[in-house]
Homo-oligomer: A and B are copies of this chain.
Amino acid sequence: MQSIEDLPTPAVLIDLEVLERNVARMQERAREAGVHLRPHAKTHKSPEVARMQLAAGARGLTLAKTSEAEVFADQGFDDIFLAYPIVGTGKAHRLLALADRIHLRVGIDSVEGARGLGAAFHAAGRRLPALLKIDCGFHRVGVAPEDAVTMAHAVANVPGIELVGVFTHAGHGYGGQTPEAVATIGGEEGRIVAAIAEAVRAAGLPVDEVSLGSTPTVRAAIAQPGVTECRPGTYVYNDRSQVALGSAGPQDCAMTVLATVVSVSGRDRAVVDAGSKTLSTDPMRPAADGNGLVVGRQSRIARVSEEHGVIAVAAGESFRIGERVRILPNHACAVSNLHDRLVAVRAGRVEGGIRVAARGCVQ
């Protein structure tokens, strides 16, 4: 087996022990709450990691884009929820082809969107199972709670669409300044969407699925009665933002970036060979604070350009040219999307590669 020390840098490492523990722990948390786990595979974009999640008990996968579902369907995954308001005739026909071979559900937040997808399915004598997206406070996509019952009726009446549930995503949990504030947002996420499901049912529409979740909010959200499914993603690797938000400890971070110090031309800075092409420019959440933390040190990456990570050297620390460091990135999902292959390690040895098969699938 290859040693980590022999790897060319920069390289994205995944610690398999931590990954396995993260997969097991979230599954156990969902089981205890009595909800299904349908992890968002955007964090890893990898069939190998998705297989671990399904083997642990996950119900299926969550993804956003049609092309991502096509990659995973080609790898044998047969139960996918595209939690995204997909729009357009071309996409509708690809979804129809997908629905022939997998159990497919999609998100919807407008009658126009529903009609676009429904037309293709209706013409084929089929119905596309859809969940109505509720805006529980993130204000990105989704219908406002007060409009939900009206919109549920409108969507359910679109030929070719079968309304099977409601879903939400409390992305604003990433702005929670304390773990308590994040938990409060998670609790609201659960209460809002469960109440809407009740109201929609009371209005005569038998929606079964009540789906929600993000890694920071999931614990508080699935504690609310009426929730049936959760969709966290980042928990599988975790990252510096999850640590800052209180949803993971440093020991729960499976992803680190191995980098080499290439320049120490200033007294208070050192430069590594991992920049925005390796770490992304995604900010730390909930508060921006550079581009990554040097593991085991106080120093952090203060700024990046494409191939340079500039370490602001903390008082009492120093770096030398040729030294290798491990960097905890701000956002694991963004790092995965920059690399075709990650390196799987266990106990300091290289065990193989993790192929990011759905990297770059934006359509």
Q: Which residues of A contact B (CB under 8 A)?
A: 6, 8-11, 42, 64-65, 84-88, 90-91, 109-110, 112-113, 116, 135, 139-144, 171, 260-266, 269, 271, 273-274, 276-278, 280-283, 305-308, 310, 320-322, 333-334, 337-340, 360, 362-363
Contact = CB atoms under 8 A, between A and B. Distances in A.
Contact of A88 (B87, B260, B308): B260
Given A274-B362, A280-B281, A337-B338, A87 B260 contact: yes
B84 A307 contact: yes
A294 B338 CA distance: 25
| Copies of the protein in its oligomer | 2
A269 B8 CA distance: 44
B110 A263 contact: yes
A135 B266 CA distance: 10
Nearest to A40: B306
Given A85-B262, A340-B360, 18 more contacts: A10-B363, A85-B263, A87-B260, A88-B322, A109-B265, A110-B265, A113-B262, A113-B263, A140-B263, A140-B305, A141-B308, A274-B362, A276-B280, A277-B337, A281-B282, A337-B338, A339-B360, A339-B362
Contact of A139 (B90, B144, B269, B338): B269
Given A274-B362, A360-B338, A362-B274, A90 B8 contact: yes
